[in-house]
Structure 1
Amino acid sequence: MRATFHLKTLAVAIATLSVASMTNAAGLDRSGQDITAFLQDGTYAEAVYTYIDADVTGNDNAYVGTSDTAYVKGNKTGDIAESYDFFRYGVKTDINDTFSVGILYDEPFGAAAAYTGDNNFTGAPTAAIDGLIAQQLDGKVPGQTITSAAGLDAYVKGVQQQLAAGREQVRQGEAAIAANPALESTLRPQIVAGKAQIAAGEAQVAPLVGLNGYAAGQLANTEGTNVEVRSESITAILGAKFGANKEFQIYGGPVAQRIEAQTRLRGSAYDLATGYTSNSNPDMDYGWLAGVSYSKPEIALKAALTYRSEIDHKMDITETYPLAGLLAGNPAAATQTNEMEITTPKSVNFDFQTGINPTTLATAKVRWVPWSDFAIVPPLYNQISKRATGDDVGLPLVDYDDDQWQVELGLAKRLAPALAVSGTVGWDSGSGDPTTSLGPIDGYYSVGLGAKYNVTPEWAVSVGGKYLWFGDAKGKLPTQQIVGDFQDNDGYILGMKLSYQGK
């Protein structure tokens, strides 16, 4: 007699796999955009909490020269990956034996990185400022060779002292004439010549004062580079089953997505972009989801293919770029608010499970995200970057070279009527190496364990964890210059889920 593996029998083992199973390292991917809550039978609800702690350390680039790809091991960066957590919620019910509805909430995209310590990503960008001064003043100050911020400051202060002395002499001459008008013919020519010299000196030193003020402001900076990206997503799904045994289902629905970001670039690694700061206002925009699934309850088989669309955002972003104020000759031009467009990527998820025997379930998840199509291009940053590229395209703040592929395989075993355990192994391709210095990881390998306990036939608590070995990566600027090397890094994920499943 053929054994059958009814889904209700194996349900205790299924949900353990999704507690901490789809948290990603490629691009800005975070939640994996899991929809398996909608694929459960009957009325189902879940609340999932996930905590991630990664250790991402490396060294800055001590190379001095003209090659963008050369690297010499420099100072340690410390751990740049900030721990973060997020929630996922889902609820689904069957209207009848054909139609189902559900609502899912997750936080699909995000980033949290901060540099600390003594390295090229923190503090005063001395080398970059000295280089700018040497370039700007080469041969432009008669009789002077100024190649550093210290040299410029000394020269400007010296000229200002001379101008102050000249003004004092003019004041004394005017006072002498007022006290003794007979000195008019003698002192007036000297006063006129002195005023002319002062005016010429002020005109000569004025642009140097602006450059000196810019340099002083940047060299006084003691902050570190950091970035934070947050997003939220709500998906409404309607599904319709068809086929002789209702084994097929098509589903789809609208997606509302909210996203915001903050960036601070500090230290000499970012060259003349150092001091750049941006804050984007939260923006809500909309996309869609569509998919198809197949089930065969007698062997506990389920397979689902889900497509999520791109979502185009238009948001207000306030940028402060000190170099912009210097180039414009107007400090107020350093801060601007403009509209920025950003498109979060489309994705394809494949979810599969099948029973091996009446107490064991095998699962597989595959995810594809075309991160090579994604870029963050703040308007002011891009405008100033065109001076470096010499074209009308400029540079993005963040982009990626490769698409992400992720594969995760798992087994779940029911040990007792109310208890099941699970294990997973996973691989993430990453999105290219070298990659952005704001997230220098090139994919990972992972292993995970989980357990689920049914408190009642309907209510269950699941816990899970995963250990990740991150791929080594070099950090680069949008100019393709290598600024750091990050090796031998790892992290872990912990998750907990409360779920309800009724008829």
Structure 2
Amino acid sequence: MRNTFHLKTLAVAIAAFSVASVTNAAGLDRSGQDVTAFLQDGTYAEAVYTYIDADVSGYDNGRVATDDAGYVQGNKTGDIAEYYDFFRYGVKADVNDTFSVGILYDEPFGAAAAYTGDSNFTGAPTAAIDGLIASQLNGKVPGQTITSAEGLDTYVTGVQQQLETGREQVRQAEAAIAGNPALEPVLRPQIDAGKAQVAAGEAQLAPLEGLNGYAAGQLANNEGTNVEVRSESITAILGAKFGANKEFQVYGGPVAQRIQADVKLRGSAYGPATGYTSHISPDQDYGYIVGASYSKPEIALKAALTYRSEIDHSMKIAETYPLAGLLAGNPAEASQTTAMEITTPQSVNFDFQTGINPTTLATAKVRWVPWSDFSIVPPLYNQVSKNNPTYGPDGLALVEYDDDQWQVELGLAKRVAPALAISGTVGWDSGAGNPVTSLGPIEGYYSAGLGAKYNVTENWAVSAGGKYLWFGDAKGQLPTKQIVGDFQDNDGYIFGVKLSYQDTK
């Protein structure tokens, strides 16, 4: 039985699963932080390329910047999900029958979203700016009701003309005195009164000119909302086997992780935050991985439980927030470069496989990530939010999630020829809450995948796989909890290819 049902007999089927297995999940999860390369027998190496193309589209909120009490279907957003690809590499070797070493590279977290077309996430933020002007000037300009950027510009231009007329009258009176000093007693009181009136008008107009300049600057910005997050991770693993038949193994090691991001908030959907831009410079920091596995080669059984720690990053962030300059009355206050803390989440992966018969393998993967503990809190963005007492002393985060992620994938692999195996998977991802950030508006997914592996030689193999995903419907929301979009009936696909080498001798 052992000779016909050994794991080595099923090796052609085993590796077919990890080509396009865990991708495009909740939060910023991308690679699934797979460690199965380290769990292979003998000397093993793999290089995997994964390509993701999702269609995520919906409608904006017709009430943005005028009434956030509910959602009314507005304009189509178009497809906001940009294609996304990444690589994964793994090398593992046995030092002896007890110790094993390995190096894994993946790109664990990421995002790529861009709004285009005609919606509240793109173009001149007319509704947002008009709404801000109406709220800022409500009852503050005697005898005037100003509710739009156009109305403000008209009013400011008119007052500027009146003030210039007053200045010209003062200049003419002073010229008259210069030409005829005898007019001094008559004209000096008028000159002083005129200067006082002009000075008072200039003081009253100054904040309105600032608001008018801010509005003009924002209305000239026709870009679309965009976000991109990239990460890289290198994991070094040392494993030690024990037990009568070396069936148990414990493993662990350090993890080096590098992450960077760019965010642009544009259009009326983001209200006063429109025009916000941030660049988070690359930062590398460190965590660890620990795990334990059990194997029973007689029935091709392997089970592994792997924990990855959270990793704290201290990152340099350059922010531009036009509203900050307006509130401070100083355009220079709209930009700052400071330090920001981000903690990427911990995770737990469970990997399981067992032989059903000498040519068929069943697998299961379960992953948990506590995205409810994760947030991105840029300092300038957060500080501006504290000006609104509604958001309390802590202010707002730019990105945060309500729920933890659970992910399950089940599969079967069948060896149909001595050098060929095929596989199939079904999966479910819980998502990280709904409503969710407008920068990634899906609530989990269901998936179905197919894969195949062909052994080119005894040691070298090529695998390919694809997966189709049905995304869960989700409402897109701002950090303020205002609903700004509704995204339904979306889907995507994943394609992966892998080159692998294995020597179990």
Residue 37 of structure 1: SS of its match in structure 2?
coil
Worse-superposed segment, 129-138 or 199-208: 129-138
Q: Percent identity?
A: 84
Residue 269 (structure 1) aligns with: 269
Q: Name the amino acid aligned to 2:392.
A: D
Kept after mapping to 1: 8 A contact 2:65/2:271 = no
What are the residue-to-residue correspondences of 1:136-155 with 2, within 5 Å? 136-155=136-155
Question: For the residues of structure 1 that align with 2:3 and 2:420, how far apart are their CA atoms?
Answer: 22
Partner of 1:412: 413
Q: Is the Cα–Cα contact under 8 Å of residues 19 and 496 in structure 1 kept in the other structure?
A: yes
Closer, same or farther in 2 for the Cα pair 1:186/1:51, shift >3 Å? Answer: same
The reply to whether residue 459 of structure 1 matches residue 434 of structure 2 is no
Q: Distance in 2 between matches of 1:169 and 1:41?
A: 94
Which moves more between the two structures, 147-156 or 239-248?
Answer: 147-156
Partner of 1:49: 49
Q: Which moved more, 1:60-69 or 1:82-91?
A: 60-69
CA drift of 1:180 comes to 3.5
Q: Distance in 2 between matches of 1:390 and 1:258?
A: 32
Query: CA shift at 1:470, angstroms?
Result: 0.4
Matched with 1:187 is 187
2:502 matched residue in structure 1: 501
What SS does structure 2 have at the residue aligned with 1:141? coil
Equivalent pair of 2:66/2:127 in contact (CA under 8 Å): no
Corresponding pairs, count:
503
Counterpart of 1:124, as a letter, is: A
Distance in 2 separating the partners of 1:198 and 1:309? 65
Aligned to 1:122, the other structure's residue is in SS state coil
DSSP 3-state at the match of 2:479: coil
What is the rounded CA distance, in whole Å, between the counterparts of 2:64 and 2:393 in structure 1? 29
- Give the equivalent residue in structure 2 for 1:341: 341
Q: Residue 383 of structure 1: CA displacement?
A: 1.1
AA of the residue aligned to 1:482: I
How far is 1:399 from its partner?
Answer: 0.7
1:302 Cα shift? 0.7
- Out of 127-136 and 203-212, give the one that drifted further: 127-136
CA deviations on 1:186-212 (whole Å, 9 max, x unpaired) are 433332222222111111111110011
Matches within 5 A, 1:95-114: 95-114=95-114
Of the structure 1 ranges 162-171 and 321-330, higher mean CA displacement relative to structure 2 is found in: 162-171
Aligned to 1:377: 377
Structure 1 segment 24-43 matched on structure 2, within 5 A: 24-43=24-43
- Opposite residue 472 of structure 1, the aligned amino acid is D
Q: CA deviation at 1:168?
A: 2.0
Contact 2:355 2:362 in 1 (8 A): yes
- Whole-angstrom CA distance in 2 between matches of 1:142 and 1:71: 35
Residue 390 (structure 1) shift: 4.8
Q: Structure 2 CA distance, aligned partners of 1:219 and 1:451?
A: 53
Asked if the contact 1:68/1:480 (under 8 Å) is kept, the reply is no
Alpha-carbon deviations, 1:313-338, whole Å to 9, x = none?
Answer: 11111111111111111111111112
> What does 1:188-207 correspond to in 2, within 5 Å?
188-207=188-207
Number of the residue aligned with 1:282: 282
Structure 1 residue 8, shift from structure 2 partner: 1.3
* Paired residues for 1:395-434 under 5 Å: 395-434=396-435
Cα separation, 2, equivalents of 1:368 and 1:178: 85
Residues 283 and 301 of structure 1: CA distance in aligned 2, closer, same or farther (over 3 Å) = same
Instruction: Check whether the contact 2:24–2:52 (CA below 8 A) recurs between aligned residues.
Output: no
Indicate the residue corresponding to 2:126 in structure 1.
Answer: 126
Letter in 2 for 1:479: T
Q: Distance in 2 between matches of 1:485 and 1:173?
A: 64
Residue identity in the other structure for 2:417 = A
Deviating more after overlay: 218-227 vs 64-73: 64-73
Partner of 1:233: 233
Aligned-partner Cα distance in 2 for 1:195–1:9: 97
In 1, distance between residues paired with 2:391 and 2:410? 48
Instruction: Indicate conservation of the 8 Å contact 1:31/1:109, yes or no.
Output: yes
Q: Deviation string for 1:327-350 (max 9, x for gaps)?
A: 111111111112111111111101
Equivalent position of 2:325 in the other structure: 325
How many angstroms apart in 1 are the aligned matches of 2:326 and 2:138? 17
Distance of 2:391 and 2:71 partners within structure 1 = 25
In structure 2, relative to structure 1, the CA distance for the partners of 1:87 and 1:195 (3 Å cut) is same
Residues in 2 aligned to 1:25 and 1:93: alpha-carbon distance in whole angstroms = 30
Shift of 1:25: 2.3
Moved more, 409-418 or 62-71: 62-71
Write the distance in 2 (CA, Å) between the matches of 1:68 and 1:299. Answer: 59
TM-superposed deviation, 1:418: 1.3
Q: What's 1:438 paired with?
A: 439
What value does the CA root-mean-square deviation take over the aligned residues? 1.5
1:5 aligned to 2:20?
no
Pair 1:87 & 2:94 matched: no
Instruction: Say if 1:429 and 1:444, in contact at 8 Å, map to a contact too.
Output: yes
Moved more, 182-191 or 361-370: 182-191
3-state SS, counterpart of residue 279 of structure 1:
strand
Summarize deviations over 1:108-158 as a string: whole Å, max 9, x none.
000000111111111222222222212222222222221211111111101
Measured in 1, the distance between the counterparts of 2:353 and 2:67 equals 50
**Paired letter, 2:452:** A
Q: CA deviation at 1:72?
A: 1.1
Whole-angstrom distance in 2 between the partners of 1:23 and 1:47: 16
Residue in 2 aligned with 1:387? 387
In terms of mean alpha carbon deviation, does 328-337 or 27-36 score higher?
Answer: 328-337
Output the CA distance in 2 between the equivalents of 1:2 and 1:271: 67
Instruction: Please report how far the alpha carbon of residue 24 of structure 1 lies from its aligned counterpart in structure 2 after TM superposition.
Output: 3.0
Work out the CA distance in 1 between the residues paired with 2:68 and 2:142: 33
Give the whole-Å Cα distance in 1 for the aligned partners of 2:86 and 2:66: 43
Aligned partner of residue 272 in structure 1, secondary structure = helix
Whole-angstrom CA distance in 1 between matches of 2:466 and 2:214: 49
Q: Which amino acid aligns with 2:406?
A: W
Aligned to 2:292: 292
Alignment check: 8 A CA contact 2:338 2:379 kept: yes
**Superposition pairs of residues 204-215 of structure 1, within 5 angstroms:** 204-215=204-215
Where 1:233 maps in the other structure, the secondary structure is strand
Residue 320 of structure 1 aligns with an amino acid whose one-letter code is T
Specify the SS of the correspondent of 1:39: coil
